[in-house]
A and B are shown apart, each in its own frame.
Chain A
């Protein structure tokens, strides 16, 4: 039987990969993909704990996280399209209107 800590470590590694991706990439689409990575890491954690504690509430929360992820992708991609239309770029270094 796999101990629970292995699932937690897998989730932590995936989450940190997503975090580093948000920090170091310039392409705004890759940044949104990294956010998806982080959401999936939390989902792995939820399902693992739900299995090990025999409580289905974790799986229900994964369901809600999935809903929020879908909403986030729809709105985020619409924002990216609007930004690309006004700046014709998807590089985050070009969107400095709100800086300082």
Chain B
């Protein structure tokens, strides 16, 4: 059952990712990216990351993609959009990287990673940053453990992330403002 879900999600993710790149209309690309975000959220649920699945849908599908659609419809581009002239080189490069990674992943040393490490032995993995708090005990929920981790071990990166959001907000307003400095060049 888990395999069925995984292969369904993986197939839809790959197909919609290719469609994002291949489709000509930017609105269709954005909508297929929306489908991909939902299926990535489903993949997170099968990996027991329910909080991230919810955040994925709310932030990516709810905020980021709506922003994209706003801009696509605001710019209202009617021009024919063709591929770049270097597209054969890019496609060849991508094919090379994909075959490389797949060959690497099929090596015997790589795929012999145990299918799942048994949870009741948290001691052997104590080498990471979060030796005590990072180990999840699935008795309490996913959201509670993430919140605890975020506000104890990763408190400083959390504050830095809020600062990044503030800087992005101010930067977006400054960049998109029309008459800043000597005025808008070439009003349409």
> Which A positions have Cβ atoms within 8 angstroms of B?
1-6, 8-10, 12-14, 16-21, 23-27, 29-30, 32-34, 36-37, 40, 43-44, 47-48, 50-57, 59-60, 62-64, 66-75, 77-82, 84-86, 88-93
B94 touches A16 (CB 8 A): yes
Let me know if A37 and B98 touch, CB within 8 A: no
Supposing A59-B146, A73-B67, A78-B171 touch, asked if A14 and B17 sit within 8 A by C-beta, the answer is yes
A1 touches B13 (CB 8 A): no
Q: B102 contacts which chain A residues (CB < 8 A)?
A: 9, 12
Q: How far is it, in angstroms, between the C-alpha of A18 and the C-alpha of B63 when the chains are bound?
A: 20
> How far is B14's CA from A12's CA once the two chains are assembled, in angstroms?
10
Q: Is the CB of B26 within 8 A of A54?
A: no
Taking a contact as CB atoms under 8 Å apart, the answer to whether A74 and B169 are in contact is yes
The 3 A-B pairs of least Cβ separation, nearest first, read A23-B90, A71-B168, A21-B21
Whether the Cβ atoms of A24 and B86 lie closer than 8 Å is: yes
B182 at the interface (CB under 8 A from A): no
- Asked if residues A78 and B176 are in contact (CB atoms below 8 Å), the reply is yes
- A69-B184 Cα distance, complex, nearest whole Å: 29
